[in-house]
Structures are given as C-alpha cells and as structure tokens.
Amino acid sequence: MEGLPKKETLQIEFKSDTKEKNGLPDHELIDTVVGMANSKGGSIFLGIEDDGKVTGAMGKHLDETGVCALIANSTVPSLQTKAEILDVEGNMKILRIDVPMSRTVVASSAGKTLRRRLKLDGSPETVPLFPYEIQSRLSELSLLDFSATPLAGSSMADLDPLEQVRLRSIIENNPSGDKKLLELTDEELNLSLRLVTRQNDSLVPTMAGMLLLGKEPSIQRLVPTARSSFQVLEGTNVRINESFNAPLLKTFETFSTYLNAWNPEKETSYGLFRISIPEFNRDAFREGLVNAFSHRDYTQLGEVRVLITDEGLSISSQGGFIDGVNTDNLISVEPHGRNPALADALKRIGLAERTGRGIDRIYEGSMKYGRPWPDYSESTSSVVRLFIQRAEPDVAFINMIATEQNRMGKPLSLNALMALSLIRNEGRASRERICRDLHISEQRASATIAQLLGLELIEEGGSDRNPLFSLNPVFYRRIANNNVYGTRRKVSVDDYQQAIVELARRKGGFVTKDEVSSVLDISGSQAYFQIKKLVKDRTLTPNQRGKYANYRLEELTD
C-alpha cells in the first residue's frame, strides 16, 4: 500500500500482531504509547514487522474505539489517541494509532514511565525514563525551571564572596547591566536575581546561584555536570586543552581572554576610518557562550565545550534543543529556554541580550562581514552544536552594509541582512528561496524585498512571472579589479554546482574549497557555501578536515 512508512524512526513504530505470536500483548502496546508520548509523539502501525513486511493485525485490534479506550484507561494521565484501520493488498488490515506528544510526563497504570530514543544503528527503542530525567523533561516542556529550584545539600557557605564582587563589577561596567541592582544589598540582589531563595526562614542557594557564585569545590561536589572546556587545535597539535568547574562569571572572563589570544584581526578602510575585522565576532561568541550555559541540561553529564580548529569555532552543550525549537526555526521562534532564572540573571547583569534574541547577534556576527551563516546542522537530540566557519571577510560587502547603515542612522533589520547575505552567496535569489531560507512568510519576505529595492541595495531581474533579485552592482564592487559579482550574475546556482561536480571529476574525484574558489572566481566563503549544499545532497563527502580539507565525489568512489 502506498503511503506506508518504509522503516521505523523515533516517531514511527512497527508492531507485529500475528496469530503465531498470539498477537501483541496489551502491556507492550501501552509501553510503546507511553514512550512516544514522553518523547515527540508519533504513530504506531499494528500489523507490520520490524523489517517493514505487512502481516496484518488481529481481530481484537481492529476495533479503533476499543483500542483508544484501552490506551486511555491504561495511562496516567489518560492519553487521548486516534486510531484508523488501513486496508492493504491481500485482504489484510493494519491499525494505525496516532500518539500525541504529552505536555506533561505520562506513566502507564502499572507505574512505568518510559521514553523513546535512537540506538547507535539509528533504530528506535523504548527505555525507562528515570527520576532524574523527569526534571529534564519538565524543563523541556517549560513546566519546571530547574535553575530556580533550591539546590539540595547546599548552604550560603558554598557561595564565594569574591564572585559576589565580580557580579557587581560586571553590572557596573557593562552598558546593558541593570544599574538599579547596584542599589540593593547583596541579599536583596541575590533574591532579585533568584540566585537564592527562602526556605524554612533561611536563605538557600538555587541552582542558578550556585552556577554563578559558587565556590569551585562546592560546584564540583554539588553540580558535577557543570563542567566546561576550552580547546585549541592547530592541525593535530593541541595548543590549549583546559577544563573547568569554575563559576560561570569567572568562566566567561577566562574564555573571553582565551578567545582574544586566538582571534586575529584584519583592518580595512571605510572612508577616513579603519575597521577592525576579527576572525570570530566577539558579540557572536559571547551570545553563543551564554546560550550554551543558560540553555544546557544540567541533569546530564557532559560539558560546555569551546573548540577552535583550522576550520573554525564550535560551541557545544548538553541537552539538545528544547521542545518547539529546531534548526529550521531558530531565527523565528519565540525566545524561551530550559533555565529561565539563569537566563534572566545573565540578561539583567548585562552578559546576555536583554530581548532574549541572542541568536540574532550570532547570525549578524557572521553575515555583516560577508561570511557563511552560523551552522547548527551537527546538533542532535542530546547536544546543541554551533559552528562558525573561518572565512575571509568580503570587504566590498562590509562597506556596502556600513555605508547604508551610516546613511540611515540605524542598523539593517536581521531579515534584510539575511536576505542580502543569501543573495550575495547565491548570486541571485527568488522570493520563494528567500521565504524558505529565512523561514518567514511570503508577506514578510515581500516587505523585506521592497525595503531593499527602495534602498537600492538590490535590483530585480528575471521574468515577470519569476523575478530574481541580485545585489546592485553600483553598491557592491570587488576591490583589486576582481569584480566577482559581475561574473556571478551570469551564472545560475545550478551551474555553480554542476561546475563543481565537473571540476571534481577532472581532479580524479576530489576537490578543495580553494580550487572551487579559483576556478569559479568566487570567494572562499561562497565556495564553501556551494560545497556544503552538495555535501547535504550527498553528492560530495568530506574526505579530510582541517588545513588540507578536501571533498570526495561519491559517484566516482562508491
């Protein structure tokens, strides 16, 4: 039957229901339903074997109403599911049960709490949801602020007075710090930031308080998951490899100092001024670090890891994206996090973006220099990983943005900057492509395009039915007589990718970013952008990373 899934996934489960096996036991069905409800939800297909072979469901499971009633009566709180009988070839029937993702933790009436996960081979399994994981699940659903809870076994003696001084110094010296906090006593300040809470007429540190102000031995004893590391690799040589259990305020300062030592700058002219362009934007690094610490899951072992390599900068943290957030809607989703009290404290003292839109700063930090967008594609259900690629800045693009923002007296909107960056990377882009890549509605895309046309930063070409937008050559000029834009306007995106494939064929199945940049006469960041698309399509596969990175053409090496 067409439309049936071919294999099991995290949200698809096949269950055998043959007479030879006496049918699927009720408790096994309920366990699977509970596991799905405590994960992402999904669909169960009764009458399909694990290998995808259809064997049909037994008569007792061909009563949709009865199966849904069984599930409702066997789960706490009761789950409302939907069931549908599907006819397949050979006069067989299967039962599809749609399980919603629960907005709280669900158990079976037998007392089992379960969840779904993927095994190393990619197949799903249902496993116990342990008590310590329940806190994490409730945090993902925004039903519990783990960072605001009193920390068991802690006392005020576990807080470091020197970190209290550091906290006040950060508020005082940071332009976005809430200066009214400085008028409060230490006790009032900590209560206001929810770093401590009253319990039985005494003050007790919260998880947020211990993370920000705790003594290192106390953090190691009470929050062993709050580890972090900073690593620098040059090729295979380890330059820095430091691990910490320090309070977050101290860690931020240490990591910022380390970054400065490994973040060279270049200068370019803008009128009578010189603009310093760092390898990695400091505001983007700060926001990436804030996100890693404030949104990580402190119930899981692991660490916040900052890694600098020949390829770029990556920041990773445990916990995965919280419910409702994924790599497709990072820019557009309403800001919310796993640890609201911790995130709010970081905003009020001035370390984090006050609007909660730190992700905007991360993207802006790359795009305003004409570099590739930040990459979250290596994130998984258990780890969020941000990667910022090393890339040469596009001086002409930088000057174009600076000139226009100086004329307007305010920065361009994030959507406008993203649209310009997309058009620059692609050469030309349609309205539909802008909608898709920016994850915005057609109405908002049209408004952004109209704004850029009005500012004369882009121009319209193509046909009336399918207009294409490109950068205005009056505003965008390459230096040193290397007018890449003039060449690029004449080449479509498909031509770029086909040219890269042909180049790889001529090179014996392998190609490098520098070769693509040279042959197509485009910048290194644009070459990487096109190569990445071919990697995503599995036309190319990364063969070697680092300084001598190259990519293998699959059709010649399979």
Is residue 138 situated within a structural domain?
no
Q: Which residue has the higher pLDDT, 427 or 336?
A: 427
- pLDDT on residue 486: 37
Quick one: 443 and 383 in the same domain? no
pLDDT digits (tens, 9 = 90+) for 181-194: 999 999 999 999 99
Quick one: 474 and 514 in the same domain? no
pLDDT digits (tens, 9 = 90+) for 397-409: 888 888 888 888 8
CATH code (residue 349): 3.30.565.60
Q: Stretch 499-528: mean pLDDT, rounded?
A: 78
- pLDDT on residue 403: 81
Quick one: 168 and 64 in the same domain? no
Please give the residue range of the domain that contains residue 447: 408-489
Q: Which residue has the higher pLDDT, 4 or 205?
A: 205
Question: Cα–Cα distance between 208 and 196 in angstroms, integer?
Answer: 8
Quick one: 412 and 475 in the same domain? yes
Is residue 394 situated within a structural domain?
no
Worst-scoring range by mean pLDDT, 183-187, 264-268, 289-293, 313-317?
A: 264-268
Quick one: 151 and 211 in the same domain? yes
Question: Which of 222, 243, 260 delimits the end of a domain?
Answer: 222
- Render the burial of 284-307: b for 16+ CB within 10 Å, e for the rest: bbbbbbbbbbbbbbbbbebbbbbb
- Tell me what percent of the residues of the chain surpass a pLDDT of 90: 45
Is residue 312 situated within a structural domain?
yes
Q: Tokens for 230?
A: 């900073």
Report yes or no: 433 and 426 within 8 Å, Cβ to Cβ. Answer: yes
Residue 145 has pLDDT above 90, yes or no: no
Residue 313 has pLDDT above 50, yes or no: yes
Question: Cα–Cα distance between 400 and 206 in angstroms, integer?
Answer: 48
Is residue 536 situated within a structural domain?
yes
Question: Cα–Cα distance between 197 and 148 in angstroms, integer?
Answer: 8
Q: Stretch 490-499: mean pLDDT, rounded?
A: 64
Q: Stretch 278-284: mean pLDDT, rounded?
A: 91
Tell me the H-state helices in 295-357.
Answer: 340-348
Q: Assign residue 90 a region: left if phi > 0, alpha if psi is -120 to 50, beta otherwise?
A: left
Report yes or no: 208 and 195 within 8 Å, Cβ to Cβ. Answer: yes
Q: Stretch 284-290: mean pLDDT, rounded?
A: 93
Q: Stretch 498-521: mean pLDDT, rounded?
A: 78
pLDDT digits (tens, 9 = 90+) for 377-391: 888 878 999 999 998
DSSP 25-59: -HHHHHHHHHHHHTTT-EEEEETB-TTS-B----G
Per residue, what are the HEC states of 258-308? HHHHCCCEEEEEECCEEEEEECCCHHHHHHHHHHHHHCCCCCCCCEEEEEE
Is residue 398 situated within a structural domain?
no
- pLDDT on residue 548: 63
Q: Stretch 225-251: mean pLDDT, rounded?
A: 93
Confidence of residue 220 (pLDDT cuts 50, 70, 90): very high
Q: Which residue has the higher pLDDT, 484 or 536?
A: 536
Average pLDDT of the chain? 85
Question: Which of 175, 197, 222 delimits the end of a domain?
Answer: 222
Quick one: 354 and 284 in the same domain? yes
Q: Which residue has the higher pLDDT, 253 or 327?
A: 253
pTM summary value: 0.71
Question: Which of 81, 103, 129 delimits the end of a domain?
Answer: 129
Quick one: 467 and 547 in the same domain? no
Quick one: 424 and 385 in the same domain? no
CATH code (residue 485): 1.10.10.10
Query: What's 414's DSSP letter?
Result: H
Q: Which residues, other chains included, contact 41 with Cβ-Cβ below 8 Å and sequence gap of 6+?
A: 11, 98, 99, 100, 101, 102
Highest mean pLDDT among 143-152, 264-273, 451-460: 451-460
Residue 159 has pLDDT above 90, yes or no: yes
Report yes or no: 366 and 525 within 8 Å, Cβ to Cβ. Answer: no
pLDDT digits (tens, 9 = 90+) for 432-462: 999 988 888 899 999 999 999 998 899 888 7
Q: Tokens for 47?
A: 């009458």
Quick one: 37 and 106 in the same domain? yes
Residue 490 has pLDDT above 70, yes or no: no
Residue 489 has pLDDT above 50, yes or no: no
Is residue 198 situated within a structural domain?
yes
Quick one: 421 and 511 in the same domain? no
Determine if the peptide bond prior to 77 is cis (ω within 30°).
yes
pLDDT digits (tens, 9 = 90+) for 59-116: 888 889 999 999 999 999 999 999 999 988 778 889 999 999 988 899 999 999 999 9
- pLDDT on residue 20: 67
Is residue 3 situated within a structural domain?
no
Is residue 395 situated within a structural domain?
no
Quick one: 177 and 290 in the same domain? no
Quick one: 375 and 277 in the same domain? yes
CATH code (residue 70): 3.30.950.30
Q: Stretch 248-268: mean pLDDT, rounded?
A: 91
Number of domains, the chain: 5
Confidence of residue 478 (pLDDT cuts 50, 70, 90): very low
Confidence of residue 416 (pLDDT cuts 50, 70, 90): very high
Q: Stretch 303-318: mean pLDDT, rounded?
A: 94
Residue 484 has pLDDT above 80, yes or no: no
